[in-house]
Chain A
Amino acid sequence: MKYSANSVWENKDEYDVAVIGAGHAGCEAALASARLGMRTIMFTVSVDSIALMPCNPNIGGSSKGHLVKEVDALGGEMGKVIDRTFIQSKMLNKSKGPAVHSLRAQADKADYTREMRKVLEEQKNLDIRQAEVTEILTEDCMPLEGRELEKRKIVGVQTYSGCIYRCRAVILCTGTYLKARCIYGEISNETGPNGLQAANYLTDCLKELGIRMYRFKTGTPARIDRNSIDFEKMEEQFGDEKIVPFSFTTNPADIQKEQVSCWLTYTNEKTHEIIRKNLHRSPLFSGMIEGTGPRYCPSIEDKVVKFADKNRHQVFIEPEGLHTNEMYIGGMSSSLPEDVQYEMYRSVPGLEHAKIVRNAYAIEYDCIDARQLYPTLEFKEIGGLFSAGQFNGSSGYEEAAAQGLIAGINAALKLKGREQITIDRSEGYIGVLIDDLVTKESHEPYRMMTSRAEYRLLLRQDNADQRLTKKGYEVGLISEDRYQKLLEKEHLMEEEIQRLETTNVGTSQKVQEVLVQYGSTPLNSGTTLAELIRRPELSYEALEPIDKMRNKALSEDIVEQVNINIKYDGYIKRQKKQVEQFKKLEKKKIPDNINYDDVKSLRIEAVQKLNELRPGSIGQASRISGVSPADISVLLVYLEQYRNK
């Protein structure tokens, strides 16, 4: 039953955009909206939980690091805040190709929350309000040209207390709070993460608006008192010696600092035995949890069952911050009963005397089938309603922030009467993330992975600025100064690459000596500097002695770009060609009001899927499972015919 307040009154403050939720999606959405001049109000059930990290104490990691860099390149906040609050930093996959280098930082959780809250509080046009939104207020509307699916539009929101706030756009960033339930063993609490108050009423309102909902689940491991851990039995994991920032605006020199360590230990047969013995007491196996969990971050009981042949699993012990003794037990999330948790954790070397501060638990929550959204993250049928983050069926702080930023930008652009932006799959991981969410049917929380990106050689973390900062500038989130700096960097880069491609080297003794020094085959005839850089054993830096014309003042990041662009030139060109093909289909737009039942010769399955999803372009249509290449051909011909009518 939908909630109805006893008495209703109207708040006279005027707002353009209401953001519901203050997690990583909500923060970026609210900041983007306010920075673009929208009078913005952000609702949260607890002001103390702004930008909370309720699970792992780190930001970034494989492909997620890319997302943070892209958020930064577009003018988002996450990268800047983590640069100020990290306590350990590591570039993952450094021995692999540049496309999969990925930055990850351990955060001081409390610091992160505080820093982000400060940014929000100082932001012009932005109000923070502790209140639970129970209703989205809408009105019927006449569909506009090009928006034929739109049936209703946003007029405001109403809180639990009965207060109405008038606004023209709403961004739903409710994370894991909708009808949230935390479970371990037979214990089930109707709360959000960390015992925070759940939002129990909004779901019913959303359902009444015709929004299709799913129920997902995820989980988190226990936190253990540092003083009860014997680190002697674990391997110490250090941060990188040279720290690389997330934000393109952070000066690397400013963030070199002392780092804390993480620790590695392993489960063993005894741990697995304890788990197996108690499986029947797990709420997952007993059927108490209905939600669908993610396959990529399985609970320890899932791992033991699914990978029965593995006799040990890694356990990472990570600090939650500098001013707390709580340690996060990475790799051992669980929903087993409390007594089993004690037994299980204490079977791990170094954790024999572990004192649990917070239990591991699974959490269930309501989220939506994101295929109801445009790639702009606006609902197709409700004008002005946007959504982002875990509410859209994703998982992870970074995924949430990325969507929040896009939703915030687009809500503002819409209200300003400007064209909304989308990022396509060839422009960024953000594009891959959103396209997957709004196109593909998913039955588990969605996590970003580098294997999901078709053009990952082009979507590197090191060139996020070259890919997206122009967009951020056009939107209005990137300053003129920052944009000009980027243009200057690109100019220097291209000039240097051009110079290396056209500078010849002969077979002088000096050249041969350098080659031999790096174990490279001596030259038989002359070649260019660029050709030499392409050899696996050589690099831009290695050729310094034989490159007299070199401008030694080039910055490190320009040198990095030059190296990558020359070394992987062949692959990069290939992917660029593929992108051209891809763009052709993306550019073929499908009008909103097309009636697929009218398209003769489409297979029934295709008609069903297309009617359900209403793709915006032929490209998007081609990625729907159940729509065949022949269907796409038919559609192309039909559209051409339609256009000419």
Chain B
Amino acid sequence: MKKGTIAAIATAMSNSGIGIVRISGDEAFEIIEKIFFTRKKEKIKIKESHVIHYGFIMDGEDTIDEVLVMVMKGPRSYTGEDTIEINCHGGVYVVKKVLETVIKNGARPAEPGEFTKRAFLNGKMDLSQAEAVIDVIESKNEYALKSSVSQLKGSMHRKIDEMRGEILYHTAFIETALDDPEHISVDGYGQVLLDKVDDLLISLKKLIDSADNGRMLKEGIRTVIVGKPNAGKSSLMNLLVGEERAIVTDIAGTTRDILEENVQFEGVSLNIVDTAGIRKTEDVVEKIGVGKAISHANDADLVIYVVDASRKLDENDYEIMDLIGDKRAIVLVNKSDLESVVEKEEIDKRLRKPMIEISAKEETGIRELEETLKKMFFNGEISFNDEVYITNIRHKAALMDARESLRKVKESIENQMPEDFYSIDLMDAYESLGSITGETIGEDLVNEIFSKFCMGK
């Protein structure tokens, strides 16, 4: 069931002075009363309209941000409904956290164009604007749905489909038994279901975690690490990802295939691809890897060129520099812990790209890299797709709804409620998960009943 109170980030999704999270609907005040605290850490009661409160947004014990909260009682607001605007600090990460807290406390992510739609339906807009509104809703929704589904990683899609399949099967079994009690007995099914629900809750937790670190989505800035063999690309990759993902050895040419990982920098999603070192080689397998590395570098939004400080430039470096000359790139001079012999001036002259000295081994220089990346994103050098964000927040909200429903199933089983109560929440979970993959319920349950179970008469 769709909740009536919606929320979204109203400002552009970039690091700016302030960011605004807007909440609209019947429960807007109730929600803000739950998460907003004064300087003395006291809750407030919203009474007056068109006032501004100063305080903090808290998620349980955690303080999310210091904010100003604007109160607008309907109909004196943009949408005509009770509206809250939270002015928070403009960091993308902060704004996103505030929005998540709002959603956790009862709002749902707004559909594209939904504030405007509500404004119109509540008579806050004149007729001439209506058609424009319709266009916005339709085009944005089509786009959002398409991108929502297409951004979902294949493996995530499969996982969600699998979970839905299980939920549907168990619901159908219960329902068949209820519809045809003389043929099928559902007595004692609670125990079977309890185990299943526990499994599902574990899977859901994993999915929610992966939504948290953005791994549910394919999208992100395509970032490719290139460099000649053994320049330290894989070490860098591991450092950025924060886990041993690539095999690091002293042997040149260890990485033969392409490794891909998603990394969050201040909430910005980077898809980092580690590639085989680029060199002339006779090894057939390695050759394929090199070919792939070149083609990845060609498609990349951003190239990170790793140079080995301890070795002089060679023909492989020159080839790489030719390759990335007209691309957006950062040069990382790795192994700054060793004696530097590489011709830095030569690189600068040829590429004219930002250059940072790092040591993947000693883990130095990473902060500078982050700073440089951030500057590139937020100064608009690299376009940032805020659709990814929204999608992720929606997915997460849907996963949390599904989890909530399954917890209710568990509760019902533990409280020894009769079996027919389970299916109510099971189907809610089914619906929530379906909203991620863009599927609606329709006749699913009835079809499952007929196809999997033999009814009598």
Contact = CB atoms under 8 A, between A and B. Distances in A.
A637 B456 contact: no
Given A630-B145, A640-B120, A97 B420 contact: yes
Contacts of B416: 536
Contact of A303 (B424, B449, B454): B454
Interface stretch (A142-150, A185-193, A305-313, A341-349): A305-313
Contact of A93 (B127, B137, B178, B457): B178
B419 A637 contact: no
Interface string B164-201: 00000000000100111111001100000000000000
Interface stretch (A292-300, A486-494, A552-560): A292-300
Contacts of B127: 641, 644-645
Given A95-B187, A578-B1, A62 B134 contact: no
A307 B181 contact: no
Interface stretch (A169-177, A447-455, A477-485, A542-550): A447-455
Contact of A637 (B1, B134, B454): B134
A316 B455 CA distance: 13
A263 interface: no
Contacts of A440: 443
A634 B138 contact: yes
B130 interface: yes
A96 B182 contact: no
A296 B450 contact: yes
A630 B450 contact: no
Given A333-B457, A581-B1, A571 B175 contact: no
B2 interface: yes
B421 A571 contact: yes
Given A96-B419, A581-B4, A630-B145, A600 B134 contact: yes
A99 B420 contact: yes
A536 B446 contact: no
Contact of B457 (A56, A63, A449, A578): A56
A640 B454 contact: no
A100 B424 CA distance: 13
B455 A298 contact: yes
Interface string B381-422: 000000000000000000000000000000000011111110
A578 B425 CA distance: 13
Contacts of B380: none
Given A449-B175, A451-B423, A451-B445, A633 B130 contact: no
B136 to A, nearest CB: 9
Nearest to B438: A628
* Interface size of A as a range: 35 or more
A630 B141 contact: yes
B456 A630 contact: no
B161 interface: no
B2 A581 contact: yes
Given A314-B183, A625-B442, A637 B137 contact: yes
Nearest to B171: A451
B4 to A, nearest CB: 7
A92 B457 contact: no
Given A333-B457, A578-B1, A450 B178 contact: yes
Given A62-B178, A630-B138, A641-B130, A330 B456 contact: yes
B348 interface: no
B181 A451 contact: no
A599 B183 CA distance: 50
Contacts of A63: 179
Interface in A573-615: 575, 577-578, 581, 599-603
Contacts of A95: 187, 418
Nearest to B112: A630
B233 interface: no
Contacts of B420: 93, 96-97, 99-100, 450, 456
A100 B178 contact: yes
B89 interface: no
Contact of A96 (B117, B178, B451): B178
A172 B186 CA distance: 40
Contact of B133 (A310, A330, A637, A645): A637
A313 B454 CA distance: 9
B131 interface: yes
Contacts of A536: 415-417
Nearest to A306: B454
Interface string A318-334: 00000000000011010
Contacts of A599: 134
Given A62-B178, A644-B127, A97 B454 contact: no
A457 interface: yes
Contacts of B117: 633, 636-637
Contact of B418 (A97, A330, A634): A97
Contact of A297 (B121, B178, B187, B455): B455
Nearest to B457: A297
B121 A314 contact: no
A330 B457 contact: yes
Contacts of A578: 1
Contacts of A451: 175, 178-179, 423, 445-446, 449
Contact of B181 (A62, A575, A581): A62
B322 interface: no
Interface in B113-146: 113-114, 117, 120-121, 127, 130-131, 133-135, 137-139, 141-142, 145
B445 A92 contact: no
A160 interface: no
Contacts of A56: 457
B111 interface: yes
Interface string A385-399: 000000000000000
A387 B184 CA distance: 35
Contacts of A307: 454
Q: Residue among A95, A296, A440, A645 with the most chain B CB within 10 A?
A: A296
Contacts of B187: 95
A457 B424 contact: yes
B424 A571 contact: yes
Nearest to B126: A644
Contacts of A577: 1
Given A56-B457, A316-B182, A630-B145, A449 B446 contact: yes
Nearest to B435: A629
A231 interface: no
Interface in A348-400: none
A638 interface: yes
Nearest to B180: A62
A599 B1 CA distance: 27
A451 B417 CA distance: 18
A29 to B, nearest CB: 26
Contacts of B442: 625
Contacts of A571: 421, 424
Contacts of A295: 450-451, 455
A222 to B, nearest CB: 14
A313 B457 CA distance: 10
B181 A93 contact: yes
Contacts of B415: 536
A297 B421 CA distance: 25
Interface in A84-114: 92-93, 95-97, 99-100
A633 B454 contact: no
Nearest to A622: B440
B134 A638 contact: yes
B182 A314 contact: yes
25 contacts: A56-B457, A62-B179, A96-B181, A96-B418, A97-B417, A97-B418, A449-B179, A451-B179, A452-B446, A536-B416, A536-B417, A571-B421, A600-B131, A600-B135, A601-B139, A625-B442, A629-B111, A633-B117, A637-B117, A637-B120, A637-B121, A640-B120, A640-B121, A640-B130, A644-B127
Given A637-B137, A638-B134, 20 more contacts: A62-B179, A62-B180, A95-B187, A96-B181, A96-B420, A97-B421, A295-B450, A296-B455, A297-B456, A314-B182, A314-B183, A449-B449, A451-B423, A451-B446, A575-B424, A600-B131, A625-B443, A640-B120, A640-B130, A641-B130
